[in-house]
Amino acid sequence: MRLKDKVAIITGGAQGIGKSYAMGFADEGAKVVIADINLEAAKATAETIRERGGQALAIRTDVSSLEDTQEMVRKTVERFGRVDILVNNAAIFGRVPISRAAPFYELELSEWDRTWEVNVKGIFLCCRAVFPHMKAQGGGKIINISSTQFYRGGSPYLKYAHYVAQKGAIIGLTRALARELGEYNINVNCIAPGSTFSEEPTDTAALERRKKAAERRAIKRVEYPDDLVGTAVFLASSDSDFVSGQTIVVDGGDIMH
């Protein structure tokens, strides 16, 4: 078990890709904190982990809130005594109404501002919240989640200027924090997933986009949440102790940057 007795906070860990990270980390021996704005879903994921013999804690967390992120870490340390790993997975994407696909000149300022608050400010706040504890204990691992949409500049089918810009900002923040936190033995890295089948598409257009994404890849199949877990475990474990400031693209060989 590569994460035995490590304590991992996973934001947005109640469902989708975040749930896969949570289950995978628990299977590797980590004590997992599911920090999600949907508390009931977080509790359900935590209960599943416990039923499988693991340890888990569910905490309602709005990552855009300073108070919530500080309370998230306080409760984690109160329950498990430390925090070794932070996975900044929480994000607003297209299926959330406020993050609709639209030309940049049609975006409401409220859409721009709210998605930045969660997708970028949320990572900043979570990193600030765990930093004192990781510094005091002599190290830690921070894993941020970007997207291949940054490298692609968006999609020919959907216009997401705000989302693309945010995912680029996450890569920049990852590099800056890796420089700042390296002296404290804190590794900061990033994963950029491709188009991932985290839930059943609701229309034929979405299914067609998944098909086209698979056709572009060197490995010509749909990407699933479990395809990302191995990379996350690597970055969370001692196997990556000399890796920092990096973005690993996990998309089956589509974007080769």
Q: Which of 157, 163, 184, 224 is catalytic?
A: 163
Among 123, 122, 141, 4, CA closest to 64? 122
Tell me 251's DSSP state: S
SS3 43: helix
224 classed as catalytic: no
Alpha helices (runs of H) in 117-253, residue ranges in sequence order: 122-137, 149-152, 161-181, 204-216, 226-236
> Residue 197 is encoded by which pair of tokens?
């089948």
Helix (H, G, I), strand (E, B) or coil at 238: helix
Secondary structure element (H or E) that encloses residue 46, with its range:
helix 39-51
Calculate the alpha carbon distances from 181 to 63, 69, 142, 143, 231 in Å: 21, 19, 10, 13, 21
* 8-state DSSP, 101: -
Residue 245: left if φ>0, alpha if ψ -120 to 50, beta else—which one?
Answer: left
How many angstroms separate the CA atoms of 82 and 93, rounded? 31
Q: How far apart are CA 124 and CA 117, in angstroms?
A: 10
Please give the positions annotated as active site.
163
